[in-house]
Amino acid sequence: MIGRPLPTADAPHQTIGKAIGLAVFASDALSSTAYATQEMMVILALAGAGAFHFSIPLSFGIVILLTILTFSYEQTIHAYPGGGGAYIVARDNLGELPAQTAGAALLMDYILTVAVSISSGVAQIVSAAPTLFPYRVWIAVALVMFIMVINLRGVKESGIVFSIPTYFFIIMMYTTVILGLLKYFTGSLMPVINPPEIEMIHAAHPITFFLILRAFSNGTAAVTGVEAISNGITAFREPRSKNAGQTLIIMAFILGSLLLGITFLSYNIGALPSESETVISQMMRTIYEGRGVMYIAGIVATTVILVMAANTAFADFPRLSALHAGDGFLPRQMTFRGSRLVYSYGIVSLSVIASLLIIIFQASVTNLIPLYAIGVFLSFTLSQFGMARRWWKVGHLQPGEERVEKGSTLRFENGWQYKLVINGFGALVTFLVMMVFGITKFLDGAWIVIILTPILVSIFYAIHFHYKRVASRLSLTNYNVPPKIRRHRVILTVGGVHRGSLTALRYARMITDDVTAVHVTIDPEESQRIQKKWEIWGDGVRLVVLDSPYRLFVEPLLEYIEEIAKNMQPNELLTIVVPQFIARGKATQLLHQRTADTLRKELLFQKNIVITEVPYQLGE
């Protein structure tokens, strides 16, 4: 089931235009409109329904934040036409530690993207089919597993696959919002019928500035995903920076207008935030006057875009891991896409951790949101500071001078001061938002991320130091080529005299003249039979029979090998040749011992011993 087609899935897309680019990169950002309004209202509800009107100015605040980010990232896209994710920008301009920090924050955030998006998707499903409410955690976990299998299997993801759900969502949402606004201005917009019972009837808080900031923090979840395009510039058709930049602006416009529209309408119909029915669902059924076809279409569109958003995290996670790995902060094998095993581990880990989060937080977006966004804003901040630093460097180059960095090439540009100001301002704003988020959400769960980020960064550095140590040990500086090998012995393990062992014997004879065959026996009779057959077929090679009175197999062999190894000179080398049957089926293969693996494990730290398995295909 989880078989071969990985390479196609990982093959690069044809370069794409703006229309498809929007479809591919926008799902993460746009899907957050499905929960941002509701999560602001959840906090405002603590001060009673009278505080809901704050959601409208807060949404404007978030749109301003979105505008700042769009300007900032537009600059990044032009500066890093080869891809300008936070990791690369931070690495090239701020150094290793900020880059590792930004990466760690983002890796955790991808996991949360899965958990939050799927939880919100399930909340939409449950809104339309309330009988499913008790099963929401398991539906969410099942969806994660579904995406996992798709990604393990590897599916050819064409532009169409992304376009249909994204544009369906955009069209459905605009239709809903515009219809809603028409009704509002013609005075025919009714309040929600049977709104869900509001669950958070705490002792009504006063409306404090802190509460407003908390609500704002929740709303910032809307801007997560804005950075997606800056990671994927290379996917765009030339002039790619221009195309990518314009796509970013279009995306930001759609995101901002939808957020404002949804918030405005939700407020005016008197929607209430609830775990049992989403604000989106309340808005849809009010505007479409019941749970008819349009309502269902709207809920389906919202659910599907949320699942797509979760799916993008499955692509982003290994891509970012590969960057870390390439710089030696994660296992090197992650650098390569093709390593199916490693890739699969990554996908499975991501799914398992996201599922655990869903189970622990009961598939509630409200419970998960305090962990979300803080990582994104940390990476925003580092990325913008990096960009500001970059403009400073650009401004101090001579005109015509070039400076090649890993991620991009620096050339003097006029007006670098303005650009520095834009990114610097972006850095400042995102930093402030991050602080606000961290403080207002600290006890709600942000502390988990605040503790985990430095731990993760420490692990990255531990890995990095290991590789550095290894590199210095492997270095050829002051390396004396070891003496030429004077003697190459081969020990051939022989379980019986048959085609398999003769194939191995032929191999052993080819690589040296100094071959000893060894047979471990627990049965003297069988041993005699083997010795007789060996006289005929053994090609003159000496056969040593090791008695194993206690029915041990590896131990006598190891003893024999270690005895020889002890007396070896530094210019001697020992190869152990092991015949290995290869059966067609996996089950039948279990019937054949893998002696070489066992020996390899036992002789791991013995120098100058090589273990070679000579396969013999049974070919049944």
Residues of span 293-352 touching a copy of itself by CB under 8 A: 322, 331-333, 335-342
- Does an H or E element contain 150, and which? helix 136-153
The yes or no reply on residue 457 touching a copy of itself (CB under 8 A) is no
Token pair of 54 as six digits? 């704050």
Closest separation in Å from C-beta 5 to a copy of itself:
12
Site for a copy of itself in 510-549 (CB under 8 A): 510-512, 522, 533, 537, 548-549
Token pair of 402 as six digits? 């070039």
Strand 542-547 versus strand 514-521 pairing type = parallel
C-beta of 208 vs 333, nearer to a copy of itself: 333
Residues in the chain: 620
The residue from 61, 195, 270, 615 that contacts a copy of itself (CB under 8 A) is: 615
Closest separation in Å from C-beta 234 to a copy of itself:
12
The yes or no reply on residue 5 touching a copy of itself (CB under 8 A) is no
Closest separation in Å from C-beta 91 to a copy of itself:
15
Site for a copy of itself in 565-594 (CB under 8 A): 573, 575, 581-583, 588, 590-593
Token pair of 219 as six digits? 């709303």
The yes or no reply on residue 155 touching a copy of itself (CB under 8 A) is no
CA pair distance 360, 358, nearest whole angstrom: 6
C-beta of 362 vs 548, nearer to a copy of itself: 548
Question: Is 256 in contact with 100 (CB distance < 8 Å)?
Answer: no
The yes or no reply on residue 11 touching a copy of itself (CB under 8 A) is yes
Q: Cis (ω within 30 of 0) for the bond into 239?
A: yes
Size of the site for a copy of itself (CB under 8 A): 81
C-beta of 246 vs 339, nearer to a copy of itself: 339
Residue 382 CA to its chain's centroid (Å): 20
C-beta of 300 vs 463, nearer to a copy of itself: 463
Long-range contacts of 393-396 (CB under 8 A, 24+ apart): 393/93, 395/420
Question: Is 174 in contact with 258 (CB distance < 8 Å)?
Answer: yes
Closest separation in Å from C-beta 1 to a copy of itself:
18
Site for a copy of itself in 386-405 (CB under 8 A): none
Site for a copy of itself in 464-493 (CB under 8 A): 466-467, 469-471, 473-476, 479, 481-482, 485, 488
Amino acid, single-letter form, for residue 245: G
Helices and strands per DSSP (H, E), number in the chain = 23, 7
Other C-beta atoms closer than 10 Å to the C-beta of 50 total 10
Q: 575 - beta bridge partners?
A: 490, 610
Closest separation in Å from C-beta 600 to a copy of itself:
7
The yes or no reply on residue 12 touching a copy of itself (CB under 8 A) is yes
Closest separation in Å from C-beta 337 to a copy of itself:
4
Strand 542-547 versus strand 572-582 pairing type = unpaired
C-beta of 1 vs 481, nearer to a copy of itself: 481
Amino acid, single-letter form, for residue 207: I
Per CB under 8 A, the segment of 69-77, 197-205, 411-419, 504-512 that binds a copy of itself is: 504-512
For residue 191, the SS3 value is coil
Closest separation in Å from C-beta 577 to a copy of itself:
9
